[in-house]
């Protein structure tokens, strides 16, 4: 279950008078519009990557401490974090010291995202980025914890 969060948590964690991050809102785009993903490289207190998938009018988000797998094989821990607004897909910048997520945010990869299937504990999808291409899976196993890995074909 991805669960409902929408943007309440996102807004609660941030002071928009201080952070350059977008305030954003939930935007359900027409069905025919292609959905997108982004992976941010986030130099926070601990370097990690943030996987964000456009679903349900927001960016469903997971922090991947060891980075996204580019080949089949490695299964990476992905910890679900608060939903982010769609505007965040283009965000790059510096979150000031003393604020939530302080540090540099850069786009590591981005491109079309296609949802292929969704079950209670599994999301199957296709990514067409520059670095990540092909079928990927997210498997929910415990609380906020998921496994993120590339399919074999
Ligand atoms: Mn992050």
What is the residue-averaged pLDDT of the chain?
A: 95
Give the model's pLDDT for residue 57.
92
- Domain membership flag for residue 1: no
For residue 69, the cross-strand partners are none
- Domain membership flag for residue 3: no
| Ligand 1 center from residue 18 Cα (angstroms) | 17
Return d(Cα 6, Cα 4) in angstroms, integer.
6
| Ligand 1 center from residue 124 Cα (angstroms) | 22
pLDDT digits (tens, 9 = 90+) for 14-68: 999 999 999 988 888 888 789 999 999 999 999 999 999 999 999 999 999 999 9
* Residue 2 pLDDT exceeds 80: no
The two structure tokens encoding residue 26? 């939930």
- Domain membership flag for residue 84: yes
| Ligand 1 center from residue 99 Cα (angstroms) | 12
For residue 70, the cross-strand partners are none
Per the document, the length of the chain is 153
Count of beta carbons in the 10 Å neighbourhood of residue 49? 20
- Domain membership flag for residue 140: yes
pLDDT digits (tens, 9 = 90+) for 126-137: 999 999 999 999
| Ligand 1 center from residue 148 Cα (angstroms) | 16
Where are the extended beta strands (E) located within the chain? 36-43, 47-55, 58-64, 76-84, 93-95, 103-118, 122-128, 133-142, 145-150
Q: What is the pTM of this model?
A: 0.94
Return d(Cα 56, Cα 123) in angstroms, integer.
14
- Domain membership flag for residue 40: yes
| Ligand 1 center from residue 30 Cα (angstroms) | 28
Count of beta carbons in the 10 Å neighbourhood of residue 136? 23
* Residue 153 pLDDT exceeds 80: no
Question: Domain span at residue 29?
Answer: 8-150
| Ligand 1 center from residue 20 Cα (angstroms) | 14
Give the model's pLDDT for residue 1.
54
Under 8 Å between Cβ of 50 and 62: yes
- Domain membership flag for residue 85: yes
| Ligand 1 center from residue 139 Cα (angstroms) | 20
* Residue 3 pLDDT exceeds 80: no
| Ligand 1 center from residue 49 Cα (angstroms) | 6
- The percentage of residues in the chain with a pLDDT greater than 70, rounded to a whole number, is 97
- Domain membership flag for residue 45: yes
What is the number of domains present in the chain?
1
Average pLDDT over residues 85-95: 97
| Ligand 1 center from residue 129 Cα (angstroms) | 19
* Residue 148 pLDDT exceeds 60: yes
Give the model's pLDDT for residue 31.
82
- Domain membership flag for residue 2: no
- Nearest CA to 24 among 79, 80, 70, 84? 84
- The percentage of residues in the chain with a pLDDT greater than 90, rounded to a whole number, is 89
Neighbours of ion ligand 1 (CB under 5 A): 42, 50
């Amino acid at each position: 279950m991805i669960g409902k969060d929408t943007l309440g948590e996102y807004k609660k964690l941030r002071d928009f008078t201080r952070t350059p991050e977008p305030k954003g809102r939930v935007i359900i785009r027409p069905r025919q519009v292609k959905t997108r993903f982004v992976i941010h490289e986030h130099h926070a207190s601990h370097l990690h990557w943030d996987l964000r998938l456009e679903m349900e009018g927001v960016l469903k988000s997971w922090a991947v401490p060891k980075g996204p797998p580019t080949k089949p094989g490695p299964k990476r821990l992905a910890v679900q974090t608060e939903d982010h607004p769609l505007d965040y897909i283009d965000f790059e910048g510096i979150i000031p010291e003393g604020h939530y997520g302080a540090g540099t945010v850069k786009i590591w990869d981005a491109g079309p995202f296609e949802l292929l299937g969704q079950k209670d504990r599994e999301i199957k999808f296709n990514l067409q980025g520059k670095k990540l291409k092909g079928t990927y899976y997210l498997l929910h196993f415990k609380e906020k914890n998921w496994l993120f890995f590339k399919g074999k074909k």
